Amino acid sequence: MMKTTTEKILNIMLVLTWIAFIGLMVEAGIILVSYVITCIKPEITKNLYLGAELSKLMQLGFWNYSIKVYFMFSLLGMKAFIAFLVIKTLSKVNLANPFTANVSQRIALIGYVLLATWFVSLLNHIHANWLLKQMGQPEVDYAAVEFLFIAGLVFIISQIFKRGVELQAENELTV
Amino acid sequence: MPITVNLDVMMAKRKMSLNELSGKVDLTLANLSILKTGKAKAIRFSTLEAICKALDCQPGDLLEYTSE
Protein backbone atom coordinates (compact mmCIF):
# COMPACT_ATOMS: atom_id res chain seq x y z
CA MET A 1 0.00 0.00 0.00
CA MET A 2 2.73 2.41 1.09
CA LYS A 3 4.87 1.43 -1.88
CA THR A 4 2.10 1.95 -4.43
CA THR A 5 1.28 5.40 -2.97
CA THR A 6 4.97 6.40 -3.19
CA GLU A 7 5.14 4.99 -6.72
CA LYS A 8 2.09 7.04 -7.73
CA ILE A 9 3.55 10.23 -6.21
CA LEU A 10 6.88 9.67 -7.96
CA ASN A 11 5.12 9.01 -11.29
CA ILE A 12 3.12 12.25 -10.92
CA MET A 13 6.35 14.10 -10.05
CA LEU A 14 8.01 12.60 -13.14
CA VAL A 15 5.21 13.92 -15.38
CA LEU A 16 5.36 17.36 -13.71
CA THR A 17 9.15 17.46 -14.10
CA TRP A 18 8.80 16.57 -17.80
CA ILE A 19 6.33 19.47 -18.21
CA ALA A 20 8.71 21.83 -16.37
CA PHE A 21 11.66 20.61 -18.46
CA ILE A 22 9.84 21.11 -21.77
CA GLY A 23 8.55 24.53 -20.61
CA LEU A 24 12.05 25.68 -19.59
CA MET A 25 13.58 24.42 -22.85
CA VAL A 26 10.91 26.21 -24.91
CA GLU A 27 11.43 29.44 -22.95
CA ALA A 28 15.21 29.22 -23.34
CA GLY A 29 14.77 28.56 -27.06
CA ILE A 30 12.42 31.53 -27.50
CA ILE A 31 14.87 33.85 -25.73
CA LEU A 32 17.75 32.62 -27.89
CA VAL A 33 15.78 32.98 -31.13
CA SER A 34 14.54 36.46 -30.05
CA TYR A 35 18.14 37.46 -29.33
CA VAL A 36 19.41 36.25 -32.70
CA ILE A 37 16.58 38.11 -34.50
CA THR A 38 17.23 41.33 -32.57
CA CYS A 39 20.93 41.08 -33.45
CA ILE A 40 19.92 41.12 -37.12
CA LYS A 41 17.03 43.62 -36.84
CA PRO A 42 17.28 45.62 -33.58
CA GLU A 43 14.21 47.74 -34.38
CA ILE A 44 11.80 44.79 -33.95
CA THR A 45 12.90 44.06 -30.34
CA LYS A 46 9.67 45.43 -28.87
CA ASN A 47 7.54 43.05 -30.96
CA LEU A 48 9.29 39.92 -29.73
CA TYR A 49 8.80 37.68 -26.70
CA LEU A 50 9.29 39.68 -23.48
CA GLY A 51 9.90 42.56 -25.87
CA ALA A 52 8.56 45.14 -23.43
CA GLU A 53 11.45 44.60 -21.02
CA LEU A 54 14.10 43.75 -23.57
CA SER A 55 13.49 46.82 -25.76
CA LYS A 56 14.24 49.03 -22.74
CA LEU A 57 17.41 47.05 -22.17
CA MET A 58 18.38 47.52 -25.79
CA GLN A 59 18.31 51.28 -25.20
CA LEU A 60 21.08 50.85 -22.60
CA GLY A 61 23.37 49.40 -25.24
CA PHE A 62 23.84 46.22 -27.17
CA TRP A 63 26.37 44.72 -24.71
CA ASN A 64 24.15 45.23 -21.68
CA TYR A 65 21.30 43.67 -23.63
CA SER A 66 23.54 40.73 -24.62
CA ILE A 67 24.74 40.18 -21.03
CA LYS A 68 21.15 40.25 -19.76
CA VAL A 69 20.01 37.75 -22.40
CA TYR A 70 23.05 35.58 -21.60
CA PHE A 71 22.09 35.51 -17.90
CA MET A 72 18.44 34.77 -18.70
CA PHE A 73 19.45 31.98 -21.06
CA SER A 74 22.00 30.47 -18.63
CA LEU A 75 19.54 30.50 -15.73
CA LEU A 76 16.85 28.83 -17.83
CA GLY A 77 19.40 26.35 -19.17
CA MET A 78 20.59 25.47 -15.67
CA LYS A 79 17.02 25.05 -14.41
CA ALA A 80 16.29 22.83 -17.43
CA PHE A 81 19.44 20.80 -16.66
CA ILE A 82 18.25 20.33 -13.06
CA ALA A 83 14.85 19.18 -14.37
CA PHE A 84 16.67 16.80 -16.75
CA LEU A 85 18.71 15.35 -13.85
CA VAL A 86 15.50 14.93 -11.79
CA ILE A 87 13.84 13.13 -14.76
CA LYS A 88 16.84 10.79 -15.08
CA THR A 89 16.83 10.13 -11.32
CA LEU A 90 13.08 9.52 -11.14
CA SER A 91 13.02 7.23 -14.17
CA LYS A 92 15.93 5.15 -12.83
CA VAL A 93 14.81 4.89 -9.20
CA ASN A 94 13.73 1.40 -8.12
CA LEU A 95 11.62 1.45 -4.96
CA ALA A 96 12.66 -2.08 -3.98
CA ASN A 97 16.33 -0.98 -3.82
CA PRO A 98 16.28 2.83 -4.05
CA PHE A 99 19.74 3.51 -2.61
CA THR A 100 22.13 3.14 -5.51
CA ALA A 101 25.43 4.93 -6.09
CA ASN A 102 24.07 6.30 -9.37
CA VAL A 103 21.08 8.01 -7.75
CA SER A 104 23.25 9.31 -4.89
CA GLN A 105 25.76 10.86 -7.33
CA ARG A 106 22.94 12.43 -9.35
CA ILE A 107 21.38 14.02 -6.26
CA ALA A 108 24.80 15.45 -5.31
CA LEU A 109 25.16 16.79 -8.88
CA ILE A 110 21.73 18.47 -8.60
CA GLY A 111 23.04 20.17 -5.43
CA TYR A 112 26.15 21.45 -7.23
CA VAL A 113 24.12 22.71 -10.23
CA LEU A 114 21.78 24.52 -7.80
CA LEU A 115 24.85 26.15 -6.22
CA ALA A 116 26.06 27.23 -9.67
CA THR A 117 22.54 28.56 -10.42
CA TRP A 118 22.70 30.65 -7.25
CA PHE A 119 26.05 32.09 -8.36
CA VAL A 120 24.79 32.97 -11.86
CA SER A 121 21.62 34.41 -10.32
CA LEU A 122 23.76 36.56 -8.03
CA LEU A 123 25.85 37.82 -10.97
CA ASN A 124 22.62 38.58 -12.86
CA HIS A 125 21.38 40.55 -9.87
CA ILE A 126 24.65 42.51 -9.58
CA HIS A 127 24.39 43.38 -13.28
CA ALA A 128 20.72 44.33 -12.95
CA ASN A 129 21.51 46.61 -10.00
CA TRP A 130 24.32 48.22 -11.95
CA LEU A 131 21.89 48.88 -14.80
CA LEU A 132 19.34 50.37 -12.37
CA LYS A 133 22.07 52.65 -11.03
CA GLN A 134 22.88 53.76 -14.58
CA MET A 135 19.20 54.60 -15.11
CA GLY A 136 19.12 56.48 -11.80
CA GLN A 137 16.65 54.12 -10.19
CA PRO A 138 16.89 52.68 -6.64
CA GLU A 139 18.69 49.34 -6.29
CA VAL A 140 16.81 46.19 -5.36
CA ASP A 141 17.97 44.07 -2.43
CA TYR A 142 17.93 40.47 -3.61
CA ALA A 143 20.62 37.83 -3.15
CA ALA A 144 18.91 34.72 -4.66
CA VAL A 145 19.39 32.96 -1.32
CA GLU A 146 16.60 30.50 -2.10
CA PHE A 147 18.89 28.71 -4.59
CA LEU A 148 21.66 28.58 -1.97
CA PHE A 149 19.22 27.29 0.63
CA ILE A 150 17.83 24.57 -1.69
CA ALA A 151 21.38 23.65 -2.81
CA GLY A 152 22.31 23.15 0.86
CA LEU A 153 19.21 21.05 1.50
CA VAL A 154 19.79 18.87 -1.58
CA PHE A 155 23.44 18.43 -0.59
CA ILE A 156 22.40 17.26 2.90
CA ILE A 157 19.89 14.82 1.34
CA SER A 158 22.62 13.51 -0.98
CA GLN A 159 24.89 12.85 2.02
CA ILE A 160 22.09 10.97 3.83
CA PHE A 161 21.45 9.06 0.59
CA LYS A 162 25.16 8.16 0.45
CA ARG A 163 24.84 6.57 3.90
CA GLY A 164 21.69 4.79 2.64
CA VAL A 165 23.74 3.30 -0.22
CA GLU A 166 26.26 1.94 2.31
CA LEU A 167 23.49 0.51 4.51
CA GLN A 168 21.77 -1.13 1.54
CA ALA A 169 25.07 -2.68 0.38
CA GLU A 170 25.61 -4.00 3.92
CA ASN A 171 22.05 -5.34 4.02
CA GLU A 172 22.49 -7.08 0.66
CA LEU A 173 25.69 -8.74 1.92
CA THR A 174 24.02 -10.07 5.08
CA VAL A 175 23.20 -13.77 4.76
CA MET B 1 38.57 -8.50 7.21
CA PRO B 2 40.05 -10.28 10.25
CA ILE B 3 37.07 -12.67 10.44
CA THR B 4 37.45 -15.62 8.06
CA VAL B 5 34.57 -17.93 7.12
CA ASN B 6 35.76 -21.53 6.93
CA LEU B 7 32.59 -22.83 5.29
CA ASP B 8 34.48 -24.50 2.44
CA VAL B 9 36.71 -26.37 4.95
CA MET B 10 33.72 -27.68 6.91
CA MET B 11 31.90 -28.62 3.70
CA ALA B 12 34.94 -30.58 2.55
CA LYS B 13 35.19 -32.33 5.96
CA ARG B 14 31.51 -33.35 5.79
CA LYS B 15 31.82 -34.10 2.04
CA MET B 16 28.83 -31.87 1.32
CA SER B 17 28.31 -29.92 -1.90
CA LEU B 18 27.08 -26.32 -2.08
CA ASN B 19 23.83 -27.49 -3.72
CA GLU B 20 23.19 -30.01 -0.94
CA LEU B 21 23.86 -27.43 1.78
CA SER B 22 21.69 -24.90 -0.01
CA GLY B 23 18.78 -27.33 0.13
CA LYS B 24 19.34 -28.16 3.79
CA VAL B 25 19.71 -24.61 5.15
CA ASP B 26 17.14 -22.98 2.85
CA LEU B 27 19.59 -20.38 1.54
CA THR B 28 20.10 -19.45 -2.12
CA LEU B 29 23.27 -20.57 -3.87
CA ALA B 30 24.14 -16.91 -4.44
CA ASN B 31 23.97 -16.14 -0.69
CA LEU B 32 25.95 -19.26 0.21
CA SER B 33 28.53 -18.28 -2.37
CA ILE B 34 28.79 -14.79 -0.81
CA LEU B 35 29.42 -16.48 2.55
CA LYS B 36 31.89 -19.00 1.14
CA THR B 37 33.98 -16.44 -0.75
CA GLY B 38 34.20 -14.15 2.30
CA LYS B 39 32.27 -11.29 0.69
CA ALA B 40 29.57 -11.33 3.39
CA LYS B 41 29.42 -8.30 5.71
CA ALA B 42 27.25 -10.00 8.35
CA ILE B 43 25.63 -13.30 9.17
CA ARG B 44 22.29 -13.76 10.91
CA PHE B 45 22.15 -16.05 13.97
CA SER B 46 19.37 -18.00 12.22
CA THR B 47 21.65 -18.65 9.22
CA LEU B 48 24.54 -19.64 11.48
CA GLU B 49 22.25 -21.98 13.44
CA ALA B 50 20.99 -23.64 10.24
CA ILE B 51 24.50 -24.13 8.84
CA CYS B 52 25.78 -25.51 12.17
CA LYS B 53 22.83 -27.93 12.25
CA ALA B 54 23.36 -29.06 8.65
CA LEU B 55 27.12 -29.49 9.00
CA ASP B 56 26.95 -30.76 12.60
CA CYS B 57 29.52 -28.29 13.86
CA GLN B 58 30.00 -25.31 16.18
CA PRO B 59 30.04 -21.61 15.13
CA GLY B 60 33.73 -21.60 16.03
CA ASP B 61 34.38 -24.23 13.36
CA LEU B 62 32.92 -21.90 10.73
CA LEU B 63 34.31 -18.55 11.88
CA GLU B 64 37.93 -17.72 12.66
CA TYR B 65 39.53 -14.53 13.92
CA THR B 66 43.01 -13.58 12.68
CA SER B 67 44.69 -10.30 13.63
CA GLU B 68 45.58 -8.16 10.60
The answer to whether A173 contacts B42, with C-beta atoms less than 8 Å apart, is: yes
Q: In angstroms, what is the C-alpha Rg of chain B? A: 11
Look over chain A and give the mean of its residue pLDDT values, rounded to a whole number.
Answer: 87
Here the contacts of A52-60 (C-beta below 8 Å, separation 24 or greater) are A57/A131, A60/A131, A60/A134, A60/A135
Interface of A with B (CB under 8 A): 169-170, 173-175
Range of the domain at A39: 5-174
What is the reported pLDDT for A1?
52
Question: What ipTM score was computed for the predicted complex, to two decimals?
Answer: 0.74
Q: Which residue has the higher pLDDT, A21 or A131?
A: A21
- Check: CB of residue A70 under 8 Å from CB of residue A54: no
**Mean pLDDT value of segment A96-124:** 92
State pLDDT tens for residues B28-50. Answer: 999 899 998 888 989 999 999 99
A170: distance to nearest CA of chain B, Å? Answer: 6
Nearest to B43 among A169, A170, A175 (CB): A175
Q: Locate the chain B residue with the closest alpha carbon to A173.
A: B40
Domains of chain B from N-terminus onward: 3-65 (1.10.260.40)
**Chain B residues within an 8 Å CB radius of A175:** 27, 31-32, 34-35, 40, 42-44, 47
What is the chain B residue with the closest CA to A167?
B41
Task: Give B-chain residues touching A169 at CB under 8 angstroms.
Answer: 41
Average pLDDT over residues B9-29: 90
Q: Total structural domains in chain A?
A: 1
Q: Do A175 and B39 touch (CB under 8 A)?
A: no
Q: Are A78 and A119 in contact (CB under 8 A)?
A: no
Work out the pLDDT band at A172, boundaries 50, 70, 90: confident
Task: Flag whether the pTM goes above 0.95.
Answer: no
pLDDT higher than threshold 80 for residue A54: no
| Model pLDDT, residue A46 | 67
CB A40 within 8 Å of CB A99: no
pLDDT score of A139: 74
**Per-residue pLDDT band at A157 (split at 50, 70, 90):** very high
**A14-30 per-position pLDDT tens digit:** 999 999 999 999 999 98
**Contact present, A174 and B44 (Cβ < 8 Å):** yes
**Is the pLDDT score of B51 beyond 90?**
yes
Would you say residue A119 has pLDDT above 90?
Answer: yes
pLDDT digits (tens, 9 = 90+) for A132-147: 888 777 777 777 788 9
